[in-house]
Structure 1
Amino acid sequence: MKMALPASEPHQQRKLVPNQGKTRRFDKLNRKMSKLLVYLILLLFSLVFIVPFLWLISGSLKSSTELFADPPIWIPEVLNWSNYKEAFSSFPFLLYLKNTLIVVVFSCVGAVLSNAFIAYGFSRIEWKYRDAVFIVVLATLMLPFQVIMIPLFLLFKDIGWIGTYLPLIVPHFFGNAFFIFLLRQFFKGIPKELSEAAKMDGANEFIVFWKVILPLSKPILATVVIFQFIEAWRDFLGPLIFLSDNSHYTLSLGVQQIMSQNDPRWGLLMAIGVAMTLPIIIIFFFLQRYFIEGITFTGSKG
């Protein structure tokens, strides 16, 4: 009897192996189905954002008859590329594009440099009342632009900046509460041992900030660039208030001029809408990896 027990164990194990294999295959199939379900749900949600843009592209290639047809026509019979030709010739598109790029580029540079420098002081340097001052900075997020619009206009008028790009650029060199918060959270996640090692080698705070912290902060800096690019690119109220000369207008003001006509050409407006949307899509496409990494890393650190 004692000799028979060991001989039966391999037989029992051989019976268990097929069951374990079926369980593993079932678990693997279950994981694949769960992943497929998640992808389908994400696809459905993405259609909410993709469909309006596809309709914008479709409308930019339609004639006026097809644009207001009932039922709606998604694919025009003849691609009406003349809408894009008229979009670039109906108003000084290239001039307004140049003006917009001037504001966008310099405001992005100011946003990156100023907010990174301020956030470094709030996250890596110990000083009295640091947290209290940071709370006051965050409190400015509750102030909408409409509240400070008139005081800013009077201030810039007194110093002679009305009619120039300076009111649209210079304020970005003095920090933004939202960007300061993002950068501070990211900087706090960088090990302090790196800064201490650099200081032991003789580096001062500025060298640590410039040579150690900034090279490690590409994801969050790319995030700031994307947010600031979108804000400056589509800004309408700022240029409307501070710009007085048509030769300084941005694209948003140029589009408003066309929309204010008695009979706006909707196909032309849709073509302009596509032209104004593409740069945002392109910059996000090239910086999306840094953007996702920056947002994820910032949200996971206290």
Structure 2
Amino acid sequence: MTALSAPGLLKPPRARAAAAVALKYLSLVLACAVVLVPLVAVLLTSLRTSREATVEGPLSAPHDWLNLHNYAVAFTDGHMLRALGNTTFILFFSLIGTVLIGSMTAYAVDRFQFRFKKLVLALFLIASLVPSVTTQVATYQVVNNLGAMDTRWAPIMLYLGTDIVSIYIFLQFIRSIPVSLDEAARLDGANSFTIYWRIILPLLRPAIATVVIIKGVAIYNDFYIPFLYMPDDNLGTISTSLFRFKGPYGAHWEIISAGAALVILPSLVVFLALQRFIYNGFAAGATK
């Protein structure tokens, strides 16, 4: 038997293979714990009374599993219904603008030939790499001069700046659409906008679903822009309304936890309902 055919050289020892499998599952368990333990702590704290939240640990079981008083206080005093309406209004117009601007930009960059085409993409990339904090003074002055300060249109205007990730997602899908479809439509007398609206945009549905979910989660979780540009309490979003519990309920962690659970619930329901779209969108974008 030669050295190359020795069993030890053809496959790793059983002990090493078993250790690798154990480390793999251990890393998965730790990753799940990092994600789930804080959520479990928030849920358990939201079901406690004020005394239980002060005395007991964050992972201790509540005495009454049906204690929904904290949720009622968080929902009414936190004006969650109004905050959800403001967030939905901002999400609706921001996502429509992002989809239209991003898909049109990707269509123009991919289908049209013009000078400095690569420079345009490079400028988009450079703009996305500039820290937003460095431009906030100028941005604040522009929004204020436009008269949009302390209105729901202020964050919408800022969110409409399509990020480079959305453009590249649309580019990946548009490049998979045959140019022959455009040429056939032009032979029938269609112009560029008709081709985009009637052919390109309907075929971008997986990409649109992916962009809507990614951008929507980012807008839903954003705190800085609504807090800075909409200081009025009546214009609070989900994130800023939750922060306002810090004043009257600064030490009442059970009510803050109930508010956090109410904030998590809508995004969790939407994700569970649309998760197949985001997975299919990423998979299609990676293979096309």
2:119 paired residue number: 132
Query: What is the TM-score of this pair, normalised by structure 1?
Result: 0.79
Which of 160, 165, 188 is 1:201 aligned to? 188
- Work out the CA distance in 2 between the residues paired with 1:270 and 1:226: 25
Percent of aligned pairs sharing the same letter: 29
> Stretches of 4+ moved more than 6 A in 1?
37-41
User: Which sections of structure 2, spanning at least 5 residues, go unmatched?
Assistant: 1-20
**Which one has a bigger Cα radius of gyration?**
1
- Does residue 1:285 correspond to 2:257, yes or no? no
1:78 paired residue number: 64
- Does residue 1:192 correspond to 2:189, yes or no? no
Alignment check: 8 A CA contact 1:141 1:177 kept = yes
RMSD, aligned CA: 2.6
- Work out the CA distance in 1 between the residues paired with 2:40 and 2:273: 21
- Work out the CA distance in 2 between the residues paired with 1:172 and 1:262: 31
- Work out the CA distance in 2 between the residues paired with 1:263 and 1:167: 29
- Work out the CA distance in 2 between the residues paired with 1:290 and 1:129: 35
1:152 paired residue number: 139
Alignment check: 8 A CA contact 2:44 2:58 kept = no
> Could you tell me how far 1:292 is from its partner in structure 2?
1.1
Classify 1:262/1:47 alpha carbon distance in 2 versus 1 (closer, same or farther; 3 Å).
closer
- Work out the CA distance in 2 between the residues paired with 1:65 and 1:254: 24
Alignment check: 8 A CA contact 1:115 1:174 kept = no
- Work out the CA distance in 1 between the residues paired with 2:278 and 2:285: 11
AA aligned opposite 2:234: S
Alignment check: 8 A CA contact 2:173 2:285 kept = yes
Counterpart secondary structure, 1:178: helix
2:167 paired residue number: 180
- Work out the CA distance in 2 between the residues paired with 1:209 and 1:74: 57
Number of aligned positions between the proteins = 268
Classify 1:46/1:197 alpha carbon distance in 2 versus 1 (closer, same or farther; 3 Å).
farther
The range that moved more, 59-68 or 154-163, is 59-68
2:53 paired residue number: 67
Counterpart secondary structure, 1:62: coil
- Does residue 1:97 correspond to 2:84, yes or no? yes
Counterpart secondary structure, 1:294: helix
User: Which sections of structure 1, spanning at least 5 residues, go unmatched?
Assistant: 1-34
- Work out the CA distance in 2 between the residues paired with 1:71 and 1:259: 21
- Work out the CA distance in 2 between the residues paired with 1:281 and 1:262: 25
> Could you tell me how far 1:230 is from its partner in structure 2?
1.4
Q: Give deviations 1:112-145, integer Å, cap 9, x for gaps.
A: 1111111111122222221211111111111122
> Could you tell me how far 1:264 is from its partner in structure 2?
2.8
2:230 paired residue number: 243
- Work out the CA distance in 2 between the residues paired with 1:46 and 1:123: 40
The range that moved more, 45-54 or 136-145, is 45-54
AA aligned opposite 1:102: F
Classify 1:73/1:171 alpha carbon distance in 2 versus 1 (closer, same or farther; 3 Å).
closer
AA aligned opposite 2:206: P
1:14 paired residue number: none
Alignment check: 8 A CA contact 1:58 1:76 kept = yes
Classify 1:216/1:165 alpha carbon distance in 2 versus 1 (closer, same or farther; 3 Å).
same
2:258 paired residue number: 271
Map 1:164-179; keep pairs closer than 5 Å: 164-179=151-166
> Could you tell me how far 1:208 is from its partner in structure 2?
1.8
Q: Give deviations 1:4-53, integer Å, cap 9, x for gaps.
A: xxxxxxxxxxxxxxxxxxxxxxxxxxxxxxx9x98886566334323322
- Work out the CA distance in 1 between the residues paired with 2:264 and 2:181: 41
Classify 1:209/1:77 alpha carbon distance in 2 versus 1 (closer, same or farther; 3 Å).
same
1:143 paired residue number: 130
AA aligned opposite 1:76: P
Which of 44, 50, 74 is 2:36 aligned to? 50
Alignment check: 8 A CA contact 2:45 2:58 kept = no
Classify 1:60/1:71 alpha carbon distance in 2 versus 1 (closer, same or farther; 3 Å).
closer
Counterpart secondary structure, 1:102: helix
Query: What is the TM-score of this pair, normalised by structure 2?
Result: 0.83
Classify 1:170/1:62 alpha carbon distance in 2 versus 1 (closer, same or farther; 3 Å).
same
